[in-house]
Structure 1
Amino acid sequence: MAMVKKYSALIFLIVFIITSAQNLTIAYELTYKPSTSRKDSSRSKLYFLDIINNESIFRDAMRRQSDSLIFYGNGYGLGYPNNINDQLYLKKDLKTNTLLKYMVLPLSRDVFYVGVNEALTWKLFPETKIIDEIKCQKAEVNYGGRSWTAWFSENIKPSEGPYVFNGLPGLVVEIYDSNNDYLFKLVKIRKSNHKNLFSMKGGKKVSWEELTKLQQDYYKDPFSFTKTQSIKVMTDDGSGGLKKVNLRESTLSIQSDLKEYNNVIELNKKIDYK
């Protein structure tokens, strides 16, 4: 939580400057538990909500940097983690409130996206509290099979927040689920001088059912793409050279991670990997 303290004074100073800005960069720290069975599984990541010209993207810091590298022609970016459960990447059209959740298969780099159509029905409460010198009001909502408590500030616009959470009378400063598996907290907000979101390009639109099938197929054979394309999979041999990957061992390792670290944010879309 040191990151939060570091930026609290900055937030307080610029709140009233940026409330009318259209192009913003908003950073959230996500603390989450990718595994429900391992008490030591808690992790933290920095995420960015970039807003430009009525469009926004929510993604982690590594993905944001990777998108920028790809945009400027630097190859394939920074790669993707083997555990597809750990991907939170959301595009939003602020005019139509259209939300698209993206997933990338790590080896083939195939991009898929699905519409997020679950309505957010917020319940507001008169209760208030101060978070990092910002007066916030309480709200609750159900999403993804989880119950969420949010604290938002009417003094900070726009009416946005991390991931899918928007539609309140101000910016979400903090939001967490009732299981304490996910906690998003505002750490930084500033005007953006960028003219481009450097967003992920292309992709195939799929239904949630099709997305589930893609994830199940990936679990069954993470290296199916390399096999059908006769691509050799190599890794660092520890001495500056390359060696062939043992596909069986790597497959078992990926499958184990997918089963163990499967506490996904959309609990109602959780896959029982077998």
Structure 2
Amino acid sequence: MIKIKIILLSLSFPILIVAQDLSVLYKLNKNGAETGFYRLDIYRDNSVFYESNYCENNLAVKSDLIISKQNKKSDTIYLLDKIDGASIYSQKSFLLNWKILDEKKNIAGYKSHKAEFFYKDEKWIAWFTNDLPFQDGPFIFKGLPGLILIIENENYRFELVEISKYKTFCDININNRKEISYEKYESIFKNISEKNTNLINSISNLNLDLEIDLKSTKDKVNTTNILREILYR
């Protein structure tokens, strides 16, 4: 089992504390199909969300996007990513206006409460537990009075798989990352996504009997970009 320790040497970043409190593994589904597993490592002052095998085997990593959140009352989220092999980071304030509802249920042995909010005009439903007093959750989601176990909308679903503690580290040095504005970051990956889609559609229209390879390629592109897809769809 592996946990991440991010070494932040740039003064532009807040310092991440090494002492970890909890590590949570989530499964991500898109339209009912499993797309991958992601881990949320929660530290005393910060948390880090990343693809579960990020440090186990970089060759198998589908997403280079790492999300760092502050556990204090801060809406700023740091996005660590790569563009054509170049390491970059960006930051953005995400204000999540949660509405806690009366409905309750048991999830994996935890008493859970229902909540909802709208992100880019899409309603997300979350189930969180006060039994684990960490105001955090998968992806950019945080701010409820407890840990988010499940959160979903019509297309995507993050679901708890396991909760554990680790004693080993995976060091990620981001000292050489270049900062870019969130607007530029969003624009770059939107353009990349559109170009990939247009290329696949253009080849498909040539009727070259490549449907199997094209399907595999399209699935790979969609899986690789899924976190970014949710982020700026």
Q: TM-score, normalised by structure 1?
A: 0.60
- The match for 1:161 is 137
Runs of 4+ in 1 over 6 A off after TM superposition: none
Deviation at 1:62, TM superposition (A): 2.1
Distance 1:29 1:91 in 2: 19
State the aligned residue count.
193
- The match for 1:78 is 59
- The match for 1:124 is 100
1:55 aligns with 2:46: yes
Task: Kindly indicate whether the alpha-carbon contact (under 8 Å) linking 1:56 and 1:197 is maintained by their aligned counterparts in 2.
Answer: no
Tell me the amino acid that sits aligned with residue 186 of structure 2.
Answer: T
- The match for 2:118 is 142
Task: Kindly indicate whether the alpha-carbon contact (under 8 Å) linking 1:56 and 1:93 is maintained by their aligned counterparts in 2.
Answer: yes
The DSSP-based 3-state class of the residue aligned with 2:97 is coil
Deviation at 1:79, TM superposition (A): 6.6
Task: Kindly indicate whether the alpha-carbon contact (under 8 Å) linking 2:55 and 2:170 is maintained by their aligned counterparts in 1.
Answer: no
Task: Kindly indicate whether the alpha-carbon contact (under 8 Å) linking 1:118 and 1:143 is maintained by their aligned counterparts in 2.
Answer: no
Tell me the amino acid that sits aligned with residue 172 of structure 2.
Answer: S
> Any unmatched runs of 5+ in structure 1?
1-20, 34-40, 67-76, 223-252
Distance 1:96 1:123 in 2: 18
Question: Which of the two has higher C-alpha Rg?
Answer: 1
- The match for 2:186 is 212
Q: Quickly say closer, same or farther: Cα 1:182–1:216, change in 2 above 3 A.
A: closer
Deviation at 1:133, TM superposition (A): 2.5
Distance 1:61 1:22 in 2: 16
- The match for 2:4 is none
Distance 1:146 1:169 in 2: 22
Q: Which residue among 67, 81, 88 is the counterpart of 1:90?
A: 67
What do residues 20-67 of structure 1 show as CA deviations (whole Å, max 9, x unaligned)?
x9521111111124xxxxxxx83331111112342221011122435x
- The match for 1:186 is 160
Task: Kindly indicate whether the alpha-carbon contact (under 8 Å) linking 2:71 and 2:136 is maintained by their aligned counterparts in 1.
Answer: no
Deviation at 1:152, TM superposition (A): 0.7
Cα RMSD for the two superposed structures: 3.3
Deviation at 1:217, TM superposition (A): 5.8
Q: Quickly say closer, same or farther: Cα 1:211–1:60, change in 2 above 3 A.
A: same
Q: TM-score, normalised by structure 2?
A: 0.69
Tell me the amino acid that sits aligned with residue 28 of structure 2.
Answer: L
Deviation at 1:159, TM superposition (A): 1.4
1:170 aligns with 2:170: no
Task: Kindly indicate whether the alpha-carbon contact (under 8 Å) linking 2:126 and 2:152 is maintained by their aligned counterparts in 1.
Answer: yes
Q: Quickly say closer, same or farther: Cα 1:217–1:172, change in 2 above 3 A.
A: closer
Task: Kindly indicate whether the alpha-carbon contact (under 8 Å) linking 1:24 and 1:191 is maintained by their aligned counterparts in 2.
Answer: yes
Distance 2:134 2:118 in 1: 21
Identity %: 28
What do residues 93-116 of structure 1 show as CA deviations (whole Å, max 9, x unaligned)?
3235331122212xx421222213
> Any unmatched runs of 5+ in structure 2?
1-18, 197-213
- The match for 2:171 is 198
